[in-house]
Amino acid sequence: MLPVRRLLRKRAIFAFVDGFLLLLALLFLIVNGTFISPTRSIFYPTAPGQILVQLAELPEHAEGETRMTPEWTLYGDGTLLFQADPHDDLWRAHLSSEAIQRVLDVIVNRDQFFSSSARLYGNSNIGDEQLLTVDVNGQRKAVTLTGSPTMSNTSNNQTTHVFAIEHFLLAYHPASAVWYAPDPDPDDNNGS
């Protein structure tokens, strides 16, 4: 009977020590912030006209046409304008600050947009050109996407990440979106 008590006492002591070490590890993670908040907040300007993220189709090199066609635009006040389908009308949604943070987290942290070093991604001989512009955390950067990634540059992590951002944005359609009808004459004050 005595050896059984000693064995049980040793197991109880080991269990206590294991639990204490686990508690210390959890406290360490909480104090360092890695357990509570794995990602940092991304600073962005909240002005209504401030564009945070924009994916816009660049015009073909026709003379006289210099306007880009926005496909997906997120403003600092949370307004999101996007096309549900190519060459479709625009849709509008309003994103909460948490939703904006999630979108920016994908772009800045997961797909590491600001660590990309090239100005042009894709195959420059094929397809339409799009301009991806991001303006957050006091940084502003624009890259051109052409066509789709070729087999030779899909092994490049930067190319993969930049095109992943494009696919993410084009697929991001909030359920609360409504059809957007821009005011054709914003200077018309008499309502006619």
* Token pair recorded at residue 169: 């944005």
Residues 132 and 160 in one domain: yes
Q: What is the CA radius of gyration of the chain?
A: 25
Percent of residues in the chain assigned helix, strand, coil, to nearest 5: 35, 25, 45
Residues 127 and 63 in one domain: yes
Residues 153 and 127 in one domain: yes
Determine the residue type at 33.
Answer: G
Instruction: Report the alpha-carbon distance of residue 108 to residue 113 in Å, rounded.
Output: 5
Q: Considering only CA atoms, which of 113, 128, 127 is closest in space to residue 158?
A: 113
What is the mean pLDDT of the segment spanning 13-22?
Answer: 87
Residues 6+ apart with CB under 8 A from 95: 74, 78, 79, 80, 103, 174
pTM of the model: 0.71
Computed over every residue of the chain, the mean pLDDT equals 82
Residues 91 and 170 in one domain: yes
Q: What is the pLDDT of residues 121-155, one digit of tens each?
A: 887 666 678 999 999 999 999 999 988 776 555 55
Residue 146 maps to a domain? yes
Residue 163 burial (CB < 10 Å; 0-12/13-18/19+)? buried
